[in-house]
Amino acid sequence: MKLLALETAAEACSAALYLEGELTSRFQVKPRGHSELILTMMDELLAEASLRPNQLDALAFGRGPGSFTGVRIATGVVQGVAFAAELPVVPVSTLAALAQRAFRERGERRLLPAFDARMGELYWGAYWVDDAGIAQLQGQELVAQADQVSLPNGEGWYGIGGGWQAYGEQLRPRLGAQLKASDGELLCRAEEVALLGVDGFARGEAVAAEAALPVYLRDQVAKKPRS
């Protein structure tokens, strides 16, 4: 299978090409300028593989949650390429991709990815890595204050992502002995979006370009209203 994946939902910008089981990628931490950088990364990966977009089988992208601007960039780019090349698209949760990253890099299977959602809230999910090595959501992804997030069952959970950097002091006491450790600096990458995209494609989760939509988990972009 040939699949190109994009991820721009946080401070890092990355693209990855999955080509018959092999991954090549580009990754750069750059809080701004994702719209130009992601196009360059895509072009480089395709050129190195001597591929045109219409020779791919599918696209995948980090659909959110994350930075509203970043999520929109990946959505817009993937829709444009998909329309032009008539390709299906697999939307991938950025929380799932972060959990997948922690499994690949740390070998952890019980994962609590969290992103800082600003306005005193975080994006949160609980994932369990199955026997096939794929992160599976337990319950629902949500946006909430740190003292209101739903807690998983059992012990041995590993916290990851910027949400732990921002709200770790509130999260760690709530989890107590359930929490094994946490790493607030682990970043989401397109490699994991690609792997989850391939899995999602096999499961029939690909959609047409117009149905490749962002998931914000909340509609409020700017600020909370004053009381």
pLDDT of residue 31: 78
pLDDT tens readout for residues 81-109: 999 999 999 999 999 999 999 999 999 99
| Mean pLDDT, range 40-66, rounded to an integer | 98
Q: How confident is the model at residue 172 (pLDDT cuts 50, 70, 90)?
A: very high
Q: 94-181, what's its fold? A: Nucleotidyltransferase; domain 5 (3.30.420)
Contacts of residue 97, Cβ cutoff 8 Å, sequence gap at least 6: 7, 62, 188, 189, 192, 193, 196
CATH class of 1-91+187-209: alpha beta
Give the pLDDT score at 219.
63
Give the residue among 131, 132, 102 at the shortest CA–CA distance from 114. Answer: 102
CA–CA separation, 93 and 213 (whole Å): 11
Predicted pLDDT of residue 223: 37
- pLDDT band for position 33 (cuts 50, 70, 90): confident
Give residue limits of the domains in the chain.
1-91+187-209, 94-181
Mean pLDDT of 177-191: 96
144-164: average pLDDT: 94
Measured over the CA atoms of residue 185, residue 188, residue 190 and residue 193, the dihedral's sign is positive
The total number of residues written for the chain in this structure: 227
DSSP-derived letter for residue 130 is -
Does this chain's domain 1-91+187-209 share its CATH topology with 94-181? yes
